[in-house]
Amino acid sequence: SQELEQSPQSLIVQEGKNLTINCTSSKTLYGLYWYKQKYGEGLIFLMMLQKGGEEKSHEKITAKLDEKKQQSSLHITASQPSHAGIYLCGADIGGAQKLVFGQGTRLTINP
Amino acid sequence: GAVVSQHPSWVICKSGTSVKIECRSLDFQATTMFWYRQFPKQSLMLMATSNEGSKATYEQGVEKDKFLINHASLTLSTLTVTSAHPEDSSFYICSASGDPRRPNSEQFFGPGTRLTVL
């Protein structure tokens, strides 16, 4: 079974709109990572969250980790075409730095 | 952030041949490197964890004799796909982690290597 569930699997939004991607685990997470990937390319690190209730922002992207450290959300404000891509959440579930990944969310921004 | 490179970026080979993929951390010493595989439109699946100077730890279902991993230095890990077959065609990505004293330290990913086996 998938240890990390991402939703939605795909998302199409109008440029300028806000959007949220969720990542849920049934286990407590030692660390939660958000990456962006363009198809067939490597991963671009966005943010890492470790503490319950932690929130980080970079430019128009904000990521939060809930108090129980089992759910994270990635929020993009005023989306732009450059935000298009595949967003992956990865988590260290066992505390050994080995990451498991969600299925990914394919984001399309329509002009 | 730190830079991780992979070579080659893509490779096409005949069935039955072996292919070596290199993963290098360019500006930091990576005590641990991870190898992932990604099939089309799927997520990354961890194959193995490689620690410098010791044997790699493989995930369940990954054949250690087929996917040979060597981590001979703090900046280089190699993955060799032995006797490759078409079902081994995939996107292979490595990541590197630098500081074992920092739990959950950030992992830096390479750009990936696309392997196509004919």
Q: Please report the DSSP string for A38-98 in residue order.
A: -TTS-EEEEEEE-STT-EEEETTEEEEE-TTSSEEEEEESS--GGG-EEEEEEEESSSSS-
Chain B residue numbers touching A40 (CB-CB < 8 A): 91, 112, 114
Q: What is the pLDDT of residue B105?
A: 64
Chain A residue numbers touching B97 (CB-CB < 8 A): 97
| pLDDT tens sequence across B34-92 | 999 998 878 899 999 988 888 899 999 999 999 999 988 889 999 999 999 999 999 99
- Does pLDDT of A36 surpass 90? yes
Burial class (CB in 10 A: 0-12, 13-18, 19+), B21: buried
Higher pLDDT pick, A42 / A105: A105
Residues 52 to 81 of B: which have CB under 8 A from any A CB? none
Q: Does A40 touch chain B (CB under 8 A)?
A: yes
Give dist(CA B30, CA A32) in Å, integer: 20
| pLDDT tens sequence across B11-50 | 999 999 999 999 998 888 888 899 999 988 788 999 999 8
Size of interface A-B (CB pairs under 8 A): 61
Nearest CA in chain B to A87: B43
For residues A16-25, average pLDDT:
96
Say if the Cβ atoms of B32 and A97 lie within 8 Å: yes
Q: Does B103 touch chain A (CB under 8 A)?
A: yes
How many Cβ atoms are within 10 Å of B41's Cβ, its own excluded?
Answer: 11
Chain A residue numbers touching B34 (CB-CB < 8 A): 97-99
Give dist(CA B25, CA B96) in Å, integer: 7
